[in-house]
Amino acid sequence: MTTPNTYTYEEIISQPKAWAQALEVTLAHKEEITRLWEDHPETRVVFTGCGSTYYLSLAAATLIQELTGRGARGIPAGELFLYPASVYEVNQPLIMIAISRSGTTSETIAAVKRFQQGGHGPVVVITNYGDSPLAKLGDLTIAIPAGQEVSVAQTRSFASMYVAAAAFAAQVAGREDLLKAMAGLPAIGSKLLETSQPLAKTIGSNLNLDRFYFLGSGPRYGLACETNLKMKEMTLTHSEPFHFMEFRHGPMSMVTGTGVVIGMLSTTQRSHEQAVLDHMESLGSNVLSLAESEADVNFDSGIPEAVRNVLYLPPLQLMSYYRAVAKGLNPDKPTHLSAVVELNLE
């Protein structure tokens, strides 16, 4: 299969190596992670980032609350900077987990500094650059250099940091079984990239399609937001993310025969989620499903649902990549965007 020589493509197909490093680095900090968590037993968690890493924060916060029962939220760093009182409760200590590919994003750095000045609690940083300004602010920093990218749109970096966040969640939940299972992700990811690529190219290259809706619930909603963002950034195509059940409450009025409804199906709630896809198909929409099995894209991973969610990303990243190429766009350099947003927030 011939492809244009772009950084984005290479970053997508090479990402399983970054997943492996994310696991290695996070596991190397096991004792520090456990100690930090146990030293703050009544503390809630706030994840933060900007753009892609805000969506990562949504996914990671939902996962850590699901696994530990401890309250967690994902909040944009810009909101923490502008409206901290809308998030921080009086006398309620927090652990902040700040996520940034570059470690130089202005809003994230400003939010962390304000959090520290307020004495709210410790800060964990997840980044691809261990020598960055943000990395130096962390009480604990998990740096994954293998996730670094040249492209503006995050693919390999996002997935690597998501794997680290999922491993962090499994560690603080005391789930050694999940951590052990995650070791199989890189090999499964490499196979998935190969098997899903033809379908991703077929759908992505079909310019008769004019709108994409990404559905994901629970820990997958943040990933639906992120894959939607890739479609917007790379291809300048109308796309939106929704929770499965919410799609029926108004958004399905936009369903047409030139649209695609993409479902990140779980195992635990498969019947309810599949019913939404079946309904949209009956209304004339094209439907694409991703799941562990019995879907258009099958993972066949054998990995527990809580820690296999990164597998939804590669096929949909490839789909956006191929659509950008088909439209004659440069996926490495999306319109109006830069890799890092740096602002004067003094």
* DSSP secondary structure, 7-71, as one string: HHHHHHHTHHHHHHHHHHHHHHTHHHHHHHHHT-TT-EEEEEESTHHHHHHHHHHHHHHHHH---
From residue 266, alpha-carbon distances to 224, 305, 313, 326 in Å are: 13, 7, 14, 31
* Residue-averaged pLDDT of the chain: 95
pTM, whole model, 2 decimals? 0.95
Please provide the DSSP assignment of 115-168 as one string. HHHTT---EEEEES-TTSHHHHH-SEEEE-GGG--SSSS-SHHHHHHHHHHHHH
The larger pLDDT score, comparing residue 251 to residue 336, is at 251
Asked if pLDDT for residue 339 goes beyond 90, the answer is: no
Q: State pLDDT tens for residues 115-139.
A: 999 999 999 999 999 999 999 999 9
Q: Return the pLDDT at 109.
A: 96
Handedness of CA 254, 260, 266, 271 (dihedral sign): positive
What is the SS3 string spanning 225-258?
HHHHHHHHHHHCCEEEEECCHHHHCCHHHHCCCC
Domains, the chain, in order of start with CATH, read: 7-182 (3.40.50.10490), 185-326 (3.40.50.10490)
Tell me the pLDDT tens digit for each residue of 16-27: 999 999 999 999
The span from the CA of 204 to the CA of 53, in Å, is 24
Mean pLDDT of 70-90: 94
pLDDT band at 233 (very low <50, low <70, confident <90, very high): very high
Confidence tier at 278 by pLDDT (50, 70, 90): very high
Q: What is the pLDDT of residues 165-183, one digit of tens each?
A: 999 999 999 999 999 999 9
Per-residue confidence band for 336, with pLDDT thresholds at 50, 70 and 90: low
Higher-pLDDT residue of 223, 340:
223
